[in-house]
Amino acid sequence: MPRSHDRDAIRAVLNRDRPWSVYALGDLDPEYFPHTRWHVVPDGSALVMLYVEFQPAVVFALGHSQALELLLEEVGETELYLHVRPEVVPLLRARYQEVHEQPMWRKLLDTARFAPVPTSAKRLTASDVPALERLYDDGDAAGERPHFFLPSMVERGVFTGIYEGADLIAVAGTHLVSAAEGVAAVGNIYTRRDRRGRGLAAQTTAAVVGELLRREIGTIILNVSQTNGVAERVYERLGFRRYCAYDEGSVARRRQGEKR
């Protein structure tokens, strides 16, 4: 099937499940759309999207398994980063030898339950990026550094942070914000390891959410590992609830002759 370049048709499919499709909807914005490849079945019941600005490319899927199986036949990448529902993983296992899954929760903000938090967090700008990078460096040793951060996200989205002197010790931000589509994905949340347990993540995240609501963004989500109960409770107190399970992770094909 030929790739789709019709943003209106793609949007119609994605709007059937907006909370699950937040990232894909955001990728319809003109600055992101050139980095995407869309495979859509003719009746619009399923689609697969590849976001190729990152390497490996991120794969997103929406729709029933039978149609997705056909679409995945068109994906030729030897490696992919996963952003898929659990029922899609077996389809990928049939095509890739190396599969690594991280079970996640997609959480959706119930705006009626949002609880603002008193905070000293300030809006971050491009001038704060060096301090932000130093803060994220703190996560390298424990493998906690945010995976999908680009400096351009600070200006494109909403980032708030808390300073201690000249040092940024806590931050929350967004992966994307699309005013045109009315969606936002909160992420890039990190607190320095020696400053945890003080409610700083709640303060920075609440400040980001408050700004998104001020902008009248209607669908706000964030993602959390299913093993991170502490973070999940923080987000639930702010008004986020579980929407669905999904998997992050990676898949890869072994090169010819390569052993396990």
- Domain containing residue 138: CATH number: 3.40.630.30
Tell me, what DSSP letter sits at residue 142?
A: T
- For residues 88 and 163, state if they share a domain: no
Count up the domains in the chain and report the number: 2
- For residues 134 and 217, state if they share a domain: yes
257 belongs to a structural domain: no
Boundaries of domain holding 83 = 7-105+247-252
- For residues 65 and 14, state if they share a domain: yes
19 belongs to a structural domain: yes
Give the strand pairing for 240-252 and 167-178.
unpaired
187 belongs to a structural domain: yes
Query: How far does CA 64 lie from the centroid of its chain?
Result: 22
- For the question of whether the overall pTM of this predicted structure is more than 0.75, the answer is yes
- For residues 120 and 99, state if they share a domain: no
258 belongs to a structural domain: no
Residues 6+ apart with CB under 8 A from 253: 78, 79, 95, 96, 97, 98
1 belongs to a structural domain: no
SS3 160: strand
What is the predicted pLDDT for the residue at 255?
A: 59
- For residues 90 and 118, state if they share a domain: no
- For residues 51 and 150, state if they share a domain: no
What is the predicted pLDDT for the residue at 258?
A: 52
- For residues 120 and 215, state if they share a domain: yes
**Tens-digit pLDDT string for the chain (260 aa):** 668 899 999 999 999 999 999 999 999 999 999 999 999 999 999 999 999 988 899 999 999 999 999 999 999 999 999 999 999 999 999 999 999 999 999 999 999 999 899 999 999 999 999 999 999 999 998 888 988 898 999 999 999 999 999 999 999 999 999 999 999 999 999 999 999 999 999 999 999 999 999 999 999 999 999 999 999 999 999 999 999 999 999 999 965 545 44
- For residues 53 and 115, state if they share a domain: no
170 belongs to a structural domain: yes
2 belongs to a structural domain: no
- For residues 152 and 54, state if they share a domain: no
Residue 251, judged by CB atoms within 10 A of its CB (0-12, 13-18, 19+), counts as buried
146 belongs to a structural domain: yes
CA 115 to each of CA 107, 207, 236: distance values in angstroms, whole numbers, following the listed order: 15, 10, 10
- For residues 133 and 187, state if they share a domain: yes
- For residues 65 and 180, state if they share a domain: no
What is the predicted pLDDT for the residue at 143?
A: 87
- For residues 84 and 121, state if they share a domain: no
d(CA 49, CA 37): 6
